[in-house]
Amino acid sequence: MEFFYILLVVLLLVFTASFTLAIVRTLQVDFPNVHIPPGVDQPGKLRVVHAHMVFTSAVGKILEKIGVCTEITFTRYVRSGKKRGPEPQLFLQDLHFGGVPVRLYLPRVPSAAPRPATIFFHGGGWIYCSIDSHDNICRYIARESGSVVVSVGYRLAPEHKYPAAYEDCLNASIHFMRNAEHYGVDPAQISVCGDSAGGNLAAAVSQTLAGRADLPRLRAQILIYPGLQAVDMDLPSYQQNRGVPLLLRERAAFFALQYLHGDASHKQDVLKGSHVPPEMRQKYKKWVSPDNIPERFKARGYNPQKTHDITAEIFKKFERICEPNLCPLLAEDAVIQQLPESFILTCEYDVLRDDGLLYKKRLEDNGVRVTWCHLEDGFHAILSLYDYGGLSFPSGKRGLDRIVQFIKGL
């Protein structure tokens, strides 16, 4: 019996040592690629948040290797967020709109007139996060703006590839727009909103609904550091912020490929620009080009890279890359001209900054009114950290307050 216990202790020590070593090796691979500029909001706190994310990823990779679960499954569990308690100022209801799970946030204070509403699509690279993970943002918007918020729990990749998330967001939006009065909402005062991947979905849904004569016209679209194209991941912001958390350049490509294909096997092709044929790149150069980005955003450095040749196999894999429902920045002018008033939030230290800047220019060039909020010390996903306990980021709250101000002014 004593031998059995000794053997058990030895095995436990070996497993613990192996587990620790695997984590250390993972951290050694991830951390050297990270750069946190001194100009970001709370750089020390950002290091802590990023370290937690890297540690989560490291544990997930180990669990995947030993067959417990996939890294994505484990990371989803960690990032999914926990259900919060009741909200004194809001009624919360979990429902289904068009077969899609949603959470409704209704202000408790009676209103003499129908309220405005915001349909919210959460971020998370199309593969992470949930209604619960963005519950704090939705509560804040509903509480501070006095409007109804509908948060949509769309299907996630890689299990559900493009266009599943887009279709869920569209179907839930249409259901709500057709039944808005049942929830005390003015059908003419409905906006769509989303952060990161959710901003992509909000832009795509807005474009689709812009041409619908059978539905009320959207009042506005609110795009929070949106990812709007995958044609060129070598724009100035992708170079300058390639190693800035919480979204590294390589992860941006990884997320886009998981959504499009359900795997990231061609990540290097996307990063090198060898996934788009020259004629396609030339066609969209009028919209996706560093020439359309103000010079002040190139001050931190920009070195145009030579694109590589594309093979027929790669081209076939990326035939859908130019679909506006996937890359809203590539929509035709006739569609852009029909879009509602827009709010775009960008962050200086974010790889997706230039996607937002390019879309802002496209909207303004086509006569669409744009309110632009640029967080000079912001980084990707900062709004989600506005009340992150002792690690809160004031710039995130400033961004949220600007969104609330915009909604109240509609």
Active site residues: 196, 350, 380
Distance CA 296, CA 290 (A): 12
Q: Which of 199, 83, 97 is nearest to 148 (CA)?
A: 97
Distance CA 116, CA 105 (A): 12
C-alpha dist (Å) from residue 322 to 192, 212, 276, 284, 310: 23, 22, 9, 9, 16
Q: Which residues pair with 379 in a beta bridge?
A: 349
C-alpha dist (Å) from residue 42 to 210, 233, 342, 381, 394: 40, 27, 29, 14, 9
Contact (CB, 8 A) for 100 and 172:
yes
Contacts of 400 (CB under 8 A, 6+ apart): 137, 140, 141, 144, 383, 386
Q: Burial, 153: exposed, middle or buried (Cβ in 10 Å; 0-12, 13-18, 19+)?
A: buried
